Structures are given as structure tokens and as C-alpha cells.
Amino acid sequence: MTIKLIKKIIFLPVIILFYYMIGCFLLYIISAILFLNKITPDLKLIQEYQRNFNVHSGTRNIWQGDLECIKFDVDLVYVPAENSCKFKNVEFDTEISFDKYGRKQTHPLSNLKNIAVIGDSVAMGWGVNDDETFSHFLEKKLKLPVYNLAVSGYGTYRQFLYLKKKEKDILKNIDTIIVQYHYNDLNENIQYKKNTLESAKKKFFFFSKKPGKSHWKLFKKFFRYSVIIPHEIITKKNKLRDFKYHKMYFLKVLENFPEFKNKKIIVFYTNPYEIKFKNYPLGQDDKFKNIFFYNLELKDNHFFQVDDHLNVKGNNYVAEKLADIISEK
């Protein structure tokens, strides 16, 4: 074997890798430019690049980062302001309204028990108008008052604390609590602790300010992701999470709220991008007999193509599934 041939064998993989990385990065940049121009092709690699860019570029508007939409709260850091505020991103342009009963909707009069919905931005209705949330659709289907008390950015602890702090005339009439769970609730559920006034103010300041972004750091981050993402698509890496730990900390959080032990609690999850849970229980919990777990079998087309929240179709689908579950009892 000649030295020339050996060099070719050695350098060929290096050259292929170099062109692969350059090609990936150029396609990432093209995908980002298309996204900023509201062009979202239904092509897997471009879709994943755009989803990544949406989250990491700093161009995405965050509802709880708008001081017109929130107000300070020492226990919860922030709560929704009782007003209407504009909220838009590339894929939607909405108006989000809150009153003392949660996300604003016209509740029907009823002598029957009511329903409360808690959760994070998905249940709150990120990306949809007041009359397009699954709480609104569910209320129309059941003809019962459904109070949407979900708040973007809350983990399970703050979700139940917010419900506990609501008007007593709401709580006394509620017999069913619907909990929308998301895999990113785990971190807060592990670390939750009561705020001091000072710590709450620091957290509120963090939410209300937009940090600056180093162009060099963004370049390195985008380059790294552009190379990694194709591999993750092929291997389906990070698409399966173990619910065993999520459930353990979820139930630990509930131990802090004995006032809800006589309420029926329905739990379902809304992981985006085809992320699923393994070891997810179905039906009544073995220990806590008032808790019921459901898998609504959400599909990719129930979410915005790039943004990781339910679209109108997804909200309607969730309402239909929940209506069937509640009507069974």
C-alpha cells in the first residue's frame, strides 16, 4: 500500500466530516431565516432546526416576561394580571385575558359541582385565544363551569398553591381538578421551596428582564446543534422519558396540599415533539385513590409545527378526550 493511498484513506473521512458539518450549519441558518420569515416547511430536519432556533435564539416572546401580563406575588413570584395583553410569536398572534377566575371565559350557571384546570403554559392556552383553550371547549361540551387556573412557567407545586390561594367561593364548588403535566415540571417539583420576599423579588426580576446574548456564544451553540440534531433524529434520542421519578415527586408535592385529598384529580401529560413517557400509570393510583392518570395519545399535529404548545386542533382534541373521561364517572 503506497503512502499516497494511506493519506487518502486517512483524509477522506476528515474531508467528509468537514463538508457534513458545514452543510448542516448552512442548512440550520437557512432554516432559521425561513422561520423568521414565517416559512415553516413540513420537512423533518428543517422542522427540528427551526424548533431548536425558536427556543435558543432569544427571539421567542415569553408570556411571563411581559410585565403587562403579570404582577408580582411573594409566594408564586408572579401571577397573571387581571387584564388583557397581546401575545404573539411567529406562528400566532393572540390576546390573553385573565380575571379573578383565571383565563377569561363566560361560565354557565350551574348547581352542579365545578371543574378546575391547573397546569403550565399548555393548559393556560399559550398560542390560542381565550375561546380556543381546551378549558373553554370542555366547558361548552359539559355545560359546566370549568375554571382555567393554569399559568405559564408553573410547576406542580405552584399550580396547586395558586389554586389554593384563589377565591374561596371558587374552591368550595370544585369537586374535580384536571392537572396538565409536562416533563419539564420535574425540576421545579424536585426543588420547590417557599420564597422569602427577597428571593421572590430576585426571581421576578429574572423573568421580567431579557438577558443579552453573545453573538459568539450563539454561533457556537447553533453550530453544535446543527451537527447533533440529524443524529438525534436518526436515533430518536431523548424521545422517551421515565415517568417513575416524575410520579414520585408529583405525589410528594401533593402531600403539601391535604385540602385537595377529597377532590377527584385527573392527570394527563402533554409532552411535545413525540416525547413519550415509559412506566406511565393508567387509571386510579394505588396509594392515592382520588388520583387518576390518563394518556390522551396526543399526536404531532395537535401542536404548532415549531412552537411546542397545543394548537386549536390540539386544544379541541384534549377537550373531547377529557369530556369523555368526565362523563364516564
What is the tens place of the pLDDT at every residue in 225-269?
999 999 888 877 667 899 999 999 999 999 999 989 999 999 999
What pLDDT does residue 328 have? 79
Q: Outline which parts of the chain fall under CATH 3.40.50.1110.
A: 63-201+241-328
Q: How confident is the model at residue 4 (pLDDT cuts 50, 70, 90)?
A: low
Euclidean distance between CA atoms 54 and 57, whole angstroms: 6
Q: How large is the average pLDDT for residues 152-164?
A: 93
Residue at grid coordinates 458539518: 21
Euclidean distance between CA atoms 87 and 62, whole angstroms: 8
Supply φ then ψ for residue 73, to 5 degrees.
Answer: -145, 130
Q: For residue 313, is pLDDT > 80?
A: yes
What pLDDT does residue 2 have? 72
What pLDDT does residue 323 have? 96
Q: How large is the average pLDDT for residues 141-167?
A: 92
Euclidean distance between CA atoms 275 and 242, whole angstroms: 11
Helix (H) or strand (E) holding 290: none
Three cell numbers at 127?
A: 398560542
297 in Cβ contact with 303 (< 8 Å) = no
Three cell numbers at 86?
A: 397581546
**Strand pairing report for 264-269 and 240-242:** unpaired
Q: Which of 61, 53, 90, 52 is nearest to 210 (CA)?
A: 61
> Average model confidence (pLDDT) for the chain?
89
Q: How many residues does the chain have?
A: 329
pTM of the model: 0.89
- Percent of residues, the chain, with pLDDT higher than 70: 88
Q: How confident is the model at residue 302 (pLDDT cuts 50, 70, 90)?
A: very high
Helix (H) or strand (E) holding 117: strand 114-118
> What is the amino acid identity at position 52?
N
What is the tens place of the pLDDT at every residue in 65-79?
898 999 998 889 899
| Residue 272 vs residue 14, higher pLDDT | 272
> What architecture does CATH give domain 63-201+241-328?
3-Layer(aba) Sandwich (3.40)
